[in-house]
Amino acid sequence: QVQLVQSGAEVKKPGASVKVSCKASGYTFTSYDINWVRQATGQGLEWMGWMNPNSGNTGYAQKFQGRVTMTRNTSISTAYMELSSLRSEDTAVYYCVNGMDVWGQGTTVTVSS
Amino acid sequence: QSVLTQPPSASGTPGQRVTISCSGSSSNIGSNTVNWYQQLPGTAPKLLIYSNNQRPSGVPDRFSGSKSGTSASLAISGLQSEDEADYYCAAWDDSLKGRVFGGGTKLTVL
């Protein structure tokens, strides 16, 4: 079945970077865009950007421009989202979502000194 | 402040019909399709309705969606206790060149 499996929880210090992975299975990875969405505790969903796994083209929400980078490794059907210059407000669960609207299980990123 | 506006809460008793609204603008709902998501506590969101009113396979026909102008609605009929969850609307925004979500509606089954 179509599945997106994300990497495990991360704890980072302010100013550091985090890289979350999202491994796809059950479909052709390059056929559907990958979006990243985050959710702070008790808050709503926030779209961060998208990536076309075939071309590598990306589009980022203005809020994250300059701090987020979305990449992929097609040989292992895996997408990555790297967020830099972390601050406490970046503490959230990060989800990858494919173009079929299948969601990963989420990765908790905690930013704390 | 979310781009799409939803009521923060809604409630109903078992068997009742409830609706959740989602208000946007000409750059999002007015010119693009709307999806609805259900998020049970501690889990990832799940697609409930796509393209305004289409249900993915496996979603009960108790759930229905509609869109008119710059607003959309999710209706749940025959309310059940397992429907207690957070519900989000989403659409592409042509001005922001990104996906936008509503703030979410917490549905309580009394």
* Residues in chain B, overall count: 110
Residues in chain B closer than 8 A to A37 (CB atoms): 99, 101
Q: How confident is the model at residue A81 (pLDDT cuts 50, 70, 90)?
A: very high
Pairing of strands A68-73, A58-60: unpaired
Mean pLDDT across A61-88: 97
In the predicted structure, residue A9 carries a pLDDT above the cut 90: yes
Instruction: Share the mean pLDDT of chain A.
Output: 97
Residues in chain B closer than 8 A to A44 (CB atoms): 2, 88, 101-104
Best of A47, A60, A94 to mutate (most B CBs within 10 Å, chain B): A47
Amino acid identity for residue B56 in this structure: P
* Separation CA B65–CA B69 (nearest Å): 14
User: For position A58, what pLDDT does the model report?
Assistant: 97
| Sign, Cα dihedral of B88, B89, B90, B95 | negative
pLDDT digits (tens, 9 = 90+) for B9-23: 999 999 999 999 999
Mean pLDDT across B86-110: 97
Which H helix or E strand runs over B64?
strand B63-68
User: For position B1, what pLDDT does the model report?
Assistant: 83
User: For position A19, what pLDDT does the model report?
Assistant: 98
* Separation CA A13–CA A43 (nearest Å): 22
- Selecting from B35, B47, B101 the residue whose C-beta is nearest the C-beta of A44 gives B101
Residues in chain A closer than 8 A to B100 (CB atoms): 47
pLDDT digits (tens, 9 = 90+) for A17-40: 999 999 999 999 999 999 999 999
Rg (CA), chain A: 13
User: For position A99, what pLDDT does the model report?
Assistant: 93
CA atoms within 13 A on the CB side of B27: 10
> Does the beta-carbon distance from B100 to A49 stay under 8 Å?
no
pLDDT digits (tens, 9 = 90+) for B28-76: 999 999 999 999 999 999 999 999 999 999 999 999 999 999 999 999 9
* Separation CA B73–CA B64 (nearest Å): 8
User: For position B52, what pLDDT does the model report?
Assistant: 98
- A52 Cβ neighbours under 8 A, 6+ residues apart: A33, A58
> Does the beta-carbon distance from B44 to A103 stay under 8 Å?
yes
Q: Return the DSSP state at B56.
A: P
Q: Is A27 on the interface with B (CB under 8 A)?
A: no
